[in-house]
Amino acid sequence: MTRFTSDFENLPAQDAACSEALPPGSTRNQRLANFLFEVGMLRKTPRTGYQFLGSGRENVAEHSFRTTVIAYVLASLTGADMGRTMGMALFHDLHETRIGDFNYVNRIYNTRNALLALEHALEGTGLDEVLQWWHELESEQTLEARLVHDADQLDLILNLKQEQDLGNPYAAKWIDCAVPRLRTDAAKELAAVILRTDHTDWWFTGPDPSWWRK
């Protein structure tokens, strides 16, 4: 999970101006409409680590979707609270609408204020639970938070395994770094299966593996 800063944090006046742009007496629905437009920015926010891997690409919205699906799977395997686990996963990178996604090289030279970005994004929406989930995820004290952390890593591992299958020799090095970050036994066991599964098996070998002879 990458949480870094961007030049937007250097523009507090602009943030303030955006907040003041809402007319007095704006309804909660108006604020929610603005929030939903902001969420759409995740479709346009690239995950930047792939430029160093040399292959692969995705945006933050794509990453957040599969991370949430993985979190659902892990919660079902462990009996964790499904709603909290999925909520944390769905919004775990929401702050990147404002600060972007910075890779491990970028973070050497940049600072960030993910909490401030998230507070600004949620201000006036009434979605207080999202901020509570973020704090829970940051503390990693609950099973649900650890599962979401692992779901975040498993999404990366899945992408790296695909790039490895497609011939990128550096993907294996990245996998070797990602797997030790897993916290839970459920995630470690799932990762072991992922790493011995060809990424095309789900369609190439089934449901009718003889399709290619037809």
Cβ neighbours, 10 Å, residue 95: 23
Q: What pLDDT is recorded for position 212? A: 64
Q: By percentage, how much of the chain surpasses pLDDT 70?
A: 86
Q: What pLDDT is recorded for position 213? A: 67
Residue tagged 């995820």 (tokens): 137
Q: How confident is the model at residue 162 (pLDDT cuts 50, 70, 90)?
A: very high
Query: For residue 86, is pLDDT > 50?
Result: yes
Query: At 206, is the secondary structure helix, strand, or coil?
Result: coil
Query: For residue 5, is pLDDT > 90?
Result: no
Q: How confident is the model at residue 23 (pLDDT cuts 50, 70, 90)?
A: low
Asked if 60 and 96 touch (Cβ cutoff 8 Å), the reply is yes
Pick the residue with more confidence: 23 or 174? 174
Q: For the residues 104-116, what does the mean pLDDT come to?
A: 92
CATH number of 7-15+28-199: 1.10.3210.10
- Residue ranges covered by each domain of the chain: 7-15+28-199
Q: How confident is the model at residue 214 (pLDDT cuts 50, 70, 90)?
A: low
pTM assigned to the model: 0.85
Q: How confident is the model at residue 208 (pLDDT cuts 50, 70, 90)?
A: confident
Q: What pLDDT is recorded for position 209? A: 67
Q: For the residues 118-141, what does the mean pLDDT come to?
A: 97
Burial (CB < 10 A; 0-12, 13-18, 19+), residue 142, is middle
Is-cis flag, bond preceding 23, omega within 30?
no
